Structure 1
Amino acid sequence: MAAPRPPPARLSGIMVPAPELEQISLAYLPTMVDKNSFLNRTFGNHNLFFWFVIILSFFRETAPRTIFQRVLDILKKSSHAVELACRDPSQVENLASSLQLITECFRCLRNACIECSVNQNSIRNLDTIGVAVDLILLFRELRVEQEALLTAFRCGLQFLGNIASRNEDSQSIVWVHAFPELFLSCLNHPDKKIVAYSSMILFTSLNHERMKELEENLNIAIDVIDAYQKHPESEWPVLIITDLFLKSPELVQAMFPKLNNQERVTLLDLMIAKITSDEPFTTDDIPVFLRHAELIASTFVDQCKTVLKLASEEPPDDEEALATIRLLDVLCEMTANTELLGYLQVFPGLLERVIDLLRVIHVTGKETTNIFSNCGCVRAEGDISNVAEGFKSHLIRLIGNLCYKNKDNQDKVNELDGIPLILDNCNISDSNPFLTQWVIYAIRNLTEDNSQNQDLIAKMEEQGLADASLLKKVGFEVEKKGEKLILKSTRDTPKP
């Protein structure tokens, strides 16, 4: 009867197919009565395909420590050849047999650790983790593209991921040996599988205490963001960012100034995805995202005018502008969240800066034809004008959110002459989809339970500063009762 093929090996939540093996007849296997004698003969001959079948088929749950000791001995012996190749590149061509041995050893260890804490503990207590990490660092030092080397590299990382899976003691040892060198070496590797497996190890090993160590090695955190940019289909980098980084405001605050504009956009996009997801904020999420709100708002207040460079005749830095625009997008989504709205409504200087910026780009768009003009321009795919699409709409949306049921902010917009400015933007614009709708929304929130703002708009209509058709477009009409002008709403009050 032929031996069955081993089942697929699960790699900490990801199914990794086990290597293809030739069918081996069980008739050739010795009786299990003389187990140790058989192991001595098998390991002595380096018959690794037999080891693999035996561990998976017979011993995985009760594998004797001697098996793992023998595998470790082979790893140590084979690593000498890799060390020699690192010192003498001419020896790389002679690595084939050593790499094959290393690969099969890692495969045995990897599969022995699958959901088996007994094997994880036995292998860990032999200091196999330290040997494996040292070998992987040697692989990176070789910097050659041999397929045999990549296979050994990948299997070594899979082993580290499996031994750490759901095993806190193993996670601690992996972290001690792997941080920071292994992550710095692997997260930017050209092979996407190596990036994915090293990301998996990082995700598995990180906890609250180790996040503090990551704050002192920000290059690793930045490498994770770069890994997500290069491999958006890989689940591990995005899990690290959304489930770990975004839950650590200290890390985000330390990392954000170090990011380039592309990296900032990536992080902000994932922050938006988290805020707008169907899952509501937990009680733990709220204080974390209040800290994020502080960072985003303060950065926007300080840097928002960089977007004005888009209107200059000089070639603009579209990445810098996109990063600024994405800050605005995050603020719009944050102020649409009731748990975050109150904090941002009283954030120093935010409302004033948004009104000021809206006024500047509105005037700039009127004076010359540029990407802030309502008429817009004919835009080709990838044109810089696409970067600013919706920017004015989102400024008005943010003003509306900040004034939602907040009389102090309603009055502040009035004091800053923001109401005529908003009404003057009620035009169809190719570069600002839904501009009219957001003007309607903002005016609604500015006039709700605020007679002073209502009177101002009514007087504007009487003085010809706001015509009736414009007010009708935004959902209002002016009615005269005796000597008093009354602004009447023709629509339902929206929510932020």
Structure 2
Amino acid sequence: MAAPRPPPARLSGVALPAPIPDLEALRALTALFKEPRNRETAPRTIFQRVLDILKRSSHAVELACRDPAQAEHLASSLQLITESFRCLRNACIECAVNQNAIRSLDTISVAVDLVLLFRELRVEQDSLLTAFRCGLQFLGNAASRNAESQAVVWMHAFPELFLSCLNHPDKKIVAYSSMVLFTTLNSERMKDLEENLNIAIDVVAAHQRQPESEWPFLIITDHFLKSPELVKAMYAKMSNQERVALLDLTISRMAGDEPLTKDDVPAFLSHAQLIASTFVDQCRVVLKLTSEQHTEDEEALATIRLLDVLCEMTAHADLLSGLQAFPGLLERVIDLLRLIHVAGHDTTNIFSTAGCVTGDGNVSNMVEGFKSHLIRLIGNLCYKNKENQDKVNELDGIPLILDGCSVDDSNPFLTQWVVYAIRNLTEDNSRNQDLIAKMEEQGLADTSLLKKMGFEVEKRGDKLILRSTSDKPPQE
């Protein structure tokens, strides 16, 4: 296997241009290391030679950082650095022996130092970006499935490298630095993130900018959402836009193809408490949306997303009971439903029927589903829960729910959730059944609407009975 040549001569402390054979030798090694058998038989001396080239080439970068005028002389050094990183990157692919040899030579610290120097260079050169990207790829491969190398990368890279790279304008640098973070994170290192919240928030911001990138997504779903302490600290410090992004990923995790495991449930129980508490405290802020000046209020939109998460959480059996018993949650949901119901009648605004049906754009769509989700949440909170069923009755919530359906008959989703809520409110609850039957007799409940919802009132002697016309329960 060919090896790079010795370092070139030096003149007055400045590296001379690298001889072409060094670059050719590195390229040959990079190609050879694409094959597993070549990786497995590589001698340690090869990696020492590559490290030597990396070290001497880094001097030119250091000089350019001190004196920007020297940046124009970086071309040959950047070529060598790039190819050295490619060579090392390939050598580490599924090869713990090479990972260990490269780590023992202290190559990781040299690579991290170079990456940090790249961030300091104020030059726009494609060759610099390429070297930057390859350096991050090497660090990711060096740490992959190797606990000792992960610890060394973390020790040298955290927090400066992530603070420098996660908000970089180059998408690939953001993606590759996210890959390094994902690869090196574990449960013990989450404490470090709690002390450096800006890194965690930068990951969420990276996901906002690049939703197609898998690494920020995986960091959040596979690491952040398993740490209630981190999520709570992040949420308090985030912007409302960042909160919406985090809440969206929480929904994505719960509604995804992979169900929550037993190990996930304790963390999500804690998330549920945080989200319910925040909603109870802030939910009235959505009323700002009734004003034309605040139709895109970010705090209100974040609160709407809290409701979406609560609906998803109460549809999960392991999370439901805790939320059913959460102090003030059911009362606040009914109160808010009443307030937006009144607001939609009093003036023409985004909560009015016309606003829901004819509005276009994200804000209108979010608000259109808001009433449906309030009713859905009431239904979930009352599922097989007599105490909450009775509480809705005491708060005059049943007429409010029925009236909400008749106001916007053109919204089929609203009707479906009203049906679902009424079924859960009346299941094994004769008091609530009697109330609806009396409402129908007094003309306060539309008979045709009840039939549409799958109910009818039957008179047996002096007693009115509300019964279902279908034995099949509705689905969540």
| TM-score under structure 2 length normalisation | 0.92
Q: 1:65 aligns with which of 44, 52, 57?
A: 44
The superposition leaves residues 411-468 of structure 1 with CA deviations (integer Å, 9 ceiling, x where unpaired) of 0000101011111112263895511111111111111110111111111122222232
Partner of 1:261: 240
1:192 aligned to 2:171?
yes
Give yes or no for the alignment of 1:421 onto 2:396: no
Contact 2:289 2:350 survives alignment (8 Å): yes
State the distance in 2 between where 1:380 and 1:463 align. Answer: 35
Tell whether 2:156 aligns with 1:177.
yes
Q: 1:381 to 1:495 in 2, by over 3 A?
A: closer
Identity of aligned residues (%): 76
> Which residue of 278, 286, 299 maps to 2:278?
299
Give the match for residue 473 of structure 2.
493
Q: Is the 8 A contact 1:359 1:421 kept in 2?
A: yes
Inter-partner Cα distance in structure 1 for 2:204 and 2:4: 48
Q: 1:259 to 1:110 in 2, by over 3 A?
A: same
Which of the numbers 48, 52, 60 marks the counterpart of 2:23? 48
- 2:256 matched to which residue of 1? 277
Q: Which of 322, 326, 331 is matched with 1:347 structurally?
A: 326
1:227–1:40 Cα change, 3 Å: closer
AA in 1 matched with 2:295: P
Give the Å deviation of 1:377.
Answer: 6.0
Contact 2:248 2:305 in 1 (8 A): yes
Structure 1 residues 227 and 41: alpha-carbon distance in aligned structure 2, compared to 1, 3 A threshold = closer
Alignment partners' CA distance in 2, 1:358 and 1:51? 68
Could you tell me which runs of 5 or more consecutive residues in structure 1 were left unpaired when the two chains were aligned: 1-31, 33-37
In structure 2, the residue matched to 1:86 is 65
Q: Tell me if structure 1 keeps the 8 A contact 2:7–2:56.
A: no
Deviation readout 1:21-64 (Å, 9 max, x if unpaired): xxxxxxxxxxx7xxxxx747566655222233246538532322
- Secondary structure, aligned partner of 2:40: coil
- List per-residue Cα deviations over 1:68-90 (Å, max 9, x = no partner): 22221222211111111111111
Q: 1:171: Cα distance to partner?
A: 0.5
Distance 2:178 2:425 in 1: 48
Equivalent residue for 1:443? 422
**What are the superposed Cα offsets for residues 362-387 of structure 1, whole Å, 9 maximum, x if unpaired?**
01111111111123367564364233
Alignment equivalent of 1:132, drawn from 111, 130, 151: 111
RMSD (Å), alpha carbons: 1.9
Unaligned runs of at least 5 residues, structure 2 = 9-18
> Which residue of 326, 330, 333 maps to 2:309?
330
Letter in 1 for 2:216: P
Give how far 1:120 is off: 0.9
Q: Write the deviation string for residues 294-349 of structure 1: whole angstroms up to 9, x where unpaired.
A: 11111111111111000124333432222111111111111111111111111110
Structure-1 residue corresponding to 2:434: 455
CA distance in 2, matches of 1:188, 1:122: 32
Kept in 2, the 8 Å contact 1:393–1:433? The answer is no
Cα 1:485/1:237, change in 2 over 3 Å? same
Q: Which moved more, 1:95-104 or 1:58-67?
A: 58-67
Q: Counterpart in 1 of 2:451? A: 472
> How far is the alpha carbon of 1:279 from its aligned partner?
2.1
Instruction: Give the AA of the match of 1:426.
Output: C
Matches of 1:107 and 1:329, distance apart in 2: 45
348-357 vs 313-322, greater mean Cα deviation: 313-322
CA contact under 8 A between 1:428 and 1:436: conserved in structure 2?
Answer: no
> Structure 1, residues 380-405: CA drift from partner, whole Å, max 9, x if none?
64364233121001100100111011
Check the 8 A contact 2:23/2:79 in 1, yes or no: no
Question: TM-score, normalized by length of structure 1?
Answer: 0.89
Q: Is 2:349 the partner of 1:374? A: no
How many Å apart are 1:271 and its aligned residue?
A: 0.9
Give a deviation string over 1:458-494, Cα, whole Å, max 9, x none: 1112222223223223222211111111112112333
**Aligned-partner SS, 2:27:** helix
Tell me which amino acid in the other structure corresponds to 1:252: V
